[in-house]
Amino acid sequence: MEPIYLDNNATTRVDPAAVEAMLPFFTEHFGNASSIHAFGSKVGQALKQARQQVQTLLGAEHDSEIIFTSCGTESDSTAILSALRAQPERNTVITTVVEHPAILSLCDWLEKEGYIVHKLKVDKKGRLDLDLYKSLLHDGVAMVSAMWANNETGTLFPVEKMAELAAAKGIMFHTDAVQAVGKIPMSLKDSKIDMLSLSGHKLHAPKGIGVLYLRRGCRFRPLLRGGHQERGRRAGTENSPSIIALGRAAELALEHLDYENTEIKRLRDKLEKGILAQVTHAFVTGDITNRLPNTCNIAFEYVEGEAILLLLNKMGIAASSGSACTSGSLEPSHVMRAMGIPYTAAHGTIRFSLSRYTTEAEINHVIEAVPPIIAQLRKLSPYWKENGPVENPEEAFAPAYA
């Protein structure tokens, strides 16, 4: 059997149609879009088309609201730093504890630089307390940044509602929609969202291309200064092949949006039910009824995630884990800890993320493969006995130190 790729929240395969669209821009149309001559003009036209394709996917009002960047991380950094620089009288950023490191590490650094950062906590299902959020909106807040969809659990935040609440207080709103774009419908022109980040490689476009959506009229300061590309809002010669591939990928994502929310969702649910029906002491994390259609995150108690991944990998199945060991730190995923998932389970969380390339046969295969792997590792675990966890695991296993 061909390897089975269920790690599409990490990155995706570039759609062959997107590859086809970009290839001529390495060779025939290698020109610089800024040039006056014919070599450049063809590129300029293609960039314009790509901008419109992304605009359509996002439901943005103007194509000039689309700024091409080098990745999701750059878009995130640009958004938050712009809000602080454009409004020096405001020194506070509101975000959430479950953001991607692209936001969290930046915010940690901002705190060290003297800014105030409020990180909204989440409940057991990864949901925010909107009343608390409302109470934190005041004149000192430069920007609210909340992710649209969580990369580990797929949990969706009510960003449209949050943006309205922020707008009512005159506060800019940014959303890291890297995981959401192309998986759920959106219409930015009907929202109060001021800025949005997306990343090409999560929606079957190449790696190293991103977008910052910037609502017309929103005050802005560029991160990179230089030439007049992207109207001076992001200097640097355009990565034209990748931009053009992203445009095509955006078009394809829009065409597949229905499929994503029906067929992919059905396969995801089948996978989840199929595994949970056979494995005890396992549960789905996140807000089950309000999440991305392609993502499923299962916590397997009393086993460690990296060990599961290695065994899955041996069977040709690719997934990812929130275990400490896969990140090189001592703590399991900050998202799992934020939801209060006990340590007995947090180290054993596995994320399966599907795409439109995922087939029913693959899902059936994974449903068969997972239960024996968990059983095999539990057999090795000092916390597990025959058919269940040892009673009172903390006492049965009495380490000399903990």
Ligand X SMILES: Cc1ncc(COP(=O)(O)O)c(C=O)c1O
- Name the residue among 13, 39, 49, 28 with its Cα closest to residue 244: 49
Instruction: Convert residues 333-352 into a mask of x (bound to another protein by CB under 8 A) and - (unbound).
Output: ----------xx--x-----
Rounded to whole angstroms, the Cα distance separating 217 from 83 reads 13
92 near ligand X, rule: CB under 6 A: no
Q: Which two tokens stand for residue 363?
A: 């899902």
- Is 71 an interacting residue with respect to ligand X (CB under 6 A)? yes
What distance, in Å, lies between the first and last C-alpha atoms of the chain? 43
**Counting contacts by CB under 8 A, is residue 302 touching another protein?**
yes
Question: Does position 100 bind ligand X by CB under 6 A?
Answer: yes
**80 to each of 27, 174, 207, 257, 374, how far by Cα in Å?**
37, 8, 22, 29, 42
Q: Residues 357, 159, 256, CA angle at the centre, nearest 5°?
A: 20
Q: Which stretch binds another protein (CB under 8 A): 33-41, 75-83, 276-284, 301-309?
A: 301-309
Q: Is 72 in the site for ligand X (CB under 6 A)?
A: yes
- 147 interface partner picked from another protein, ligand X, none, CB below 5 to 8 A per type: ligand X
Structure token digits, residue 401: 């130190």
Question: In the beta sheet, which residues pair with residue 4?
Answer: 317
Q: Cβ distance 125 to 286 under 8 Å? A: yes
Q: Residue 206, interface with ligand X (CB under 6 A)?
A: no
- Which residues are designated catalytic? 325
Q: Which does 210 bind (CB under 5 to 8 A by kind): ligand X, another protein, none?
A: ligand X
* Among 53, 73, 92, 239, interactor with ligand X by CB under 6 A: 73
- Contact call for residues 69 and 55 (beta carbons, < 8 A): no
**Count of residues of this chain found to bind ligand X when the rule CB under 6 A is applied:** 12
Q: Per CB under 8 A, which region of 51-59, 140-148, 259-267, 317-325 contacts another protein?
A: 317-325
Residue 304 interacts with another protein (CB under 8 A)?
Answer: yes
283 binds another protein per the rule CB under 8 A: no
Q: Give least dist CB 274 to another protein, A.
A: 25
List the one residue from 98, 198, 307, 338 that touches another protein (CB under 8 A): 307
CB closer to another protein out of 131 and 386? 386
Residue among 81, 136, 165, 325 that touches another protein (CB under 8 A) = 325
Q: Residue with CB nearest ligand X?
A: 72
Write 393-396 long-range contacts (CB < 8 A, 24+). Answer: 393/302, 393/344
| Beta strands at 141-145 and 116-120: parallel, antiparallel or unpaired | unpaired
CB 86 within 8 A of CB 93: no
